[in-house]
Chain A
């Protein structure tokens, strides 16, 4: 599985971690719904660390489309809320 951390780069991650990623993602959604900013920050850090720790950075010679793209490491709580409201991080 190819995972990109937005603004950081791509990693090759064993599919076995997919469930873990998914679980953190669900918890993130709950944290945003509950307006729990501290939990959001901790979970986002957990999610990115999981990829950085267990994934292998993709060399620049490889051109592969990512299977999933994770939000940038400096995503603010406000931005995450907007991401759900449909505004997104990328205008235009």
Chain B
């Protein structure tokens, strides 16, 4: 088997390392139990990290939404005053902010998924640990019995696989959260750099900016037309004085 056997081998290779620690089988049980509690703590910290990152993105979204509202109002005022050039500029800035809002929405949804996954992993692991703790005490009490060694191996192997798997889930969630944090940092820079104030500055390169312009120009035209109709302005844009162009 291709992908399945690779995956199985990978996880199982991780298990033997957890198992090969203690010499006394009873120590193995205690050691495994300690490791489980540690892992549970790590998963809980992971959940906190994901939640914190999500909150940060939601805050950014709120800021962008505020600038969207402001720019919409500015565009309206500009059209009311016959300054279509300013209205166009405001709508262009608004389009940039709108694109970022869409990106943020996707990222928040992604982090929500990671959060749900980790919460499920936490529930699963907590139940397993509780069962393991009970079983550990039973096995230790009956340690004289010959089959104890076999039962220790069974219990430890079963939980070790669970731990390796939860560890993998945690690691993947952390990686995704780090990626999102890097992108969130980029949006912070965007907000701070004033790209929403001045479209000619900012981290996006010229081609990207041009592409963004092309993709949004249609919606700008439509929205301009709607504003004109709403305010009863003539359909033709007004000719503006030379000095008013920026």
Contact = CB atoms under 8 A, between A and B. Distances in A.
Nearest to A61: B131
B158 A63 contact: yes
B223 interface: no
Contacts of B131: 60-61, 63
A4 B1 contact: no
Interface in B169-201: 169, 171-172
A70 B7 contact: yes
Nearest to B125: A60
A84 B2 CA distance: 8
A69 B158 contact: no
Contacts of B128: 60, 63
B1 A64 contact: no
A89 B10 contact: yes
A6 interface: yes
B40 interface: no
A80 B1 contact: no
A55 interface: no
B245 interface: no
A65 to B, nearest CB: 5
A4 B165 contact: yes
Nearest to B110: A74
B236 interface: no
Nearest to A69: B8
For chain A, give the interface size range: 20 to 34
A26 interface: yes
Contacts of B162: 63
B211 interface: no
Contacts of A88: 6, 10
Given A63-B128, A63-B132, A21 B158 contact: no
B87 interface: no
A16 interface: no
Interface of B: 1-8, 10-12, 14, 117, 121, 124, 127-128, 131-132, 135, 154-155, 157-159, 161-162, 164-166, 168-169, 171-172
Given A29-B3, A32-B3, A69-B8, 17 more contacts: A4-B165, A6-B7, A6-B169, A7-B166, A7-B172, A28-B2, A60-B131, A61-B131, A63-B131, A63-B162, A68-B8, A71-B3, A83-B6, A83-B7, A83-B10, A84-B3, A90-B168
16 contacts: A6-B7, A6-B165, A7-B166, A7-B169, A9-B124, A29-B3, A61-B131, A63-B131, A65-B157, A66-B11, A70-B3, A72-B168, A83-B3, A88-B6, A89-B7, A90-B11
